[in-house]
Amino acid sequence: MLSTSRQFLLRSRPKGPLAYDDLELRDAPLGELADGEVRLRSTWMSIDPTIRIWMSDVPQYLPPIAIGEVIRSIGTAVVVASRHPDFAEGDAVFGLLGWQTHPQGTPEALSIQKIAPGVDPTAALSIFGMTAGLTAYHGLVDVVDPKPGETLVVDAAAGTVGGLVGQIGKILGCRVIGIAGGPEKCAYVTDELGFDACIDYRNEDVGAALDRLCPEGIDVCFENVGGPIFDAILLRMKLHGRISLCGMIAGYDAHEPVPGPYNFGMILMRRLMVKGFIILDFVDRFPEAIAKLGGWVAEGRLRNRVHELEGFERLPDALRLLVGGQAPNLGKMVVKIS
């Protein structure tokens, strides 16, 4: 008889990259299931850079994870017991489950929704996931509205968001240049995802490569990274260019204040529009995005690999590699829990 849930709790805020000592691994006793509650068995966890933001106490878009709290995370699960009329044993769900093997609570507290029949659970975290396909769709279409013939530059292009952004850009008629780390990732971006080119930032000078590939400059940038890569892009934006600011992963592990881009002045000189967004702003429009994404997948125009690590205990490593830019993933990184 199940009586505990394995959990990672935040013991201390990471100073630099996430360290094991920042977390506490424990087996928490599970209470009786109360009326209106469900008990879940986690199946996959979505590994997202934003989890590293939530572990810090910088000003952010949700409250930071409190010390002693379970690490916040999106994931999928199966209902193992239910005292809620809308959920039955065996239902597949996704939601804000946290790093725990057996989430338990009300559906509202866990923010769960059922996964539509026939949809692979990992697709609910990737192509249709808030931190993947939906972020790519709304962050590109709603925030910077790319036009046919425009040049779009996307960094972290081998990741799930960047890879989907570039493919959507191609569908919309843009010329798309990716930036990724290493020849294997770049080959994936051009050969499998169909970007027009991909710059290997580990082995090429990004600025020189952008000069070669975008001799007339960049119309639209979808920015995931920050740091020197973003500075190289800023310097090459066209007059009145638009930048969708999705993430600044290069700074997430920093313990000291991180300076903004050295080429910030280009926003003035080139009259750029820079707009930050968070996917939670677009909840009302998710049905549109899901319909579009689903249609493109059905037409074979949108590809997305899922890179799976196995085992609950590998969650911290997976996050550390992803935020540190050392993760091997092509496409969406998930950890299989059970």
Near a copy of itself by CB under 8 A: residue from 269, 283, 328, 338: 269
| Terminal-to-terminal C-alpha distance of the chain | 17
Taking CB under 8 A as the rule, does residue 20 contact a copy of itself?
no
* Options 7-15, 165-173, 261-269, 300-308: segment touching a copy of itself (CB under 8 A): 261-269
Taking CB under 8 A as the rule, does residue 264 contact a copy of itself?
yes
What sign does the dihedral 90-96-102-107 (CA atoms) show?
negative
**Residue 312, Cβ neighbours under 10 Å: how many?**
18
CB of 165 to a copy of itself, least distance (A): 16
Instruction: Identify which of residues 54 and 188 has a Cβ nearer to a copy of itself in the complex.
Output: 54
Distance CA 48, CA 34 (A): 31
154 bridge partner residues = 178, 222
Give exposure, 120-139, as e/b (b: 16+ Cβ within 10 Å).
ebbbbbbbbbbbbbbbbbbb
Near a copy of itself by CB under 8 A: residue from 260, 295, 311, 328: 260
Instruction: Identify which of residues 2 and 239 has a Cβ nearer to a copy of itself in the complex.
Output: 239
Is residue 226 within 8 A of residue 250, CB to CB? The reply is yes
Report the site for a copy of itself in 272-301 (rule: CB under 8 A). Answer: 272-278, 281
Near a copy of itself by CB under 8 A: residue from 90, 117, 118, 257: 257
Instruction: Identify which of residues 186 and 246 has a Cβ nearer to a copy of itself in the complex.
Output: 246
Instruction: Identify which of residues 117 and 257 has a Cβ nearer to a copy of itself in the complex.
Output: 257
Distance of CA 325 to the CA centre of its chain: 13
CB of 277 to a copy of itself, least distance (A): 5
Distance CA 194, CA 216 (A): 22
Instruction: Identify which of residues 173 and 260 has a Cβ nearer to a copy of itself in the complex.
Output: 260
Taking CB under 8 A as the rule, does residue 119 contact a copy of itself?
no
Distance of CA 153 to the CA centre of its chain: 18
Which structure tokens are listed for 129?
């996931």
Distance CA 257, CA 218 (A): 29
5 bridge partner residues = 28
Report the site for a copy of itself in 197-236 (rule: CB under 8 A). Answer: 226, 235
CB of 46 to a copy of itself, least distance (A): 19
Place of tokens 């338990």: 104
Which structure tokens are listed for 262?
């050295």
Instruction: Identify which of residues 261 and 316 has a Cβ nearer to a copy of itself in the complex.
Output: 261
* Options 41-49, 197-205, 242-250, 306-314: segment touching a copy of itself (CB under 8 A): 242-250
Report the site for a copy of itself in 32-71 (rule: CB under 8 A). Answer: 58-61
Near a copy of itself by CB under 8 A: residue from 30, 267, 290, 297: 267
* Options 68-76, 113-121, 181-189, 258-266: segment touching a copy of itself (CB under 8 A): 258-266
Count of chain residues binding a copy of itself (CB under 8 A): 34
CA atoms within 13 Å, Cβ hemisphere of 163: 27
Q: DSSP secondary structure string, 69-126?
A: SBPP--EEEEEEEE-STT--TT-EEEE---SBSS-EE-HHHHT-EEPPTT--HHHHHT
Instruction: Identify which of residues 75 and 261 has a Cβ nearer to a copy of itself in the complex.
Output: 261
Distance CA 3, CA 212 (A): 61
Distance of CA 315 to the CA centre of its chain: 15
Instruction: Identify which of residues 233 and 266 has a Cβ nearer to a copy of itself in the complex.
Output: 266
Per CB under 8 A, residues contacting a copy of itself are: 58-61, 226, 235, 245-248, 251, 257-278, 281
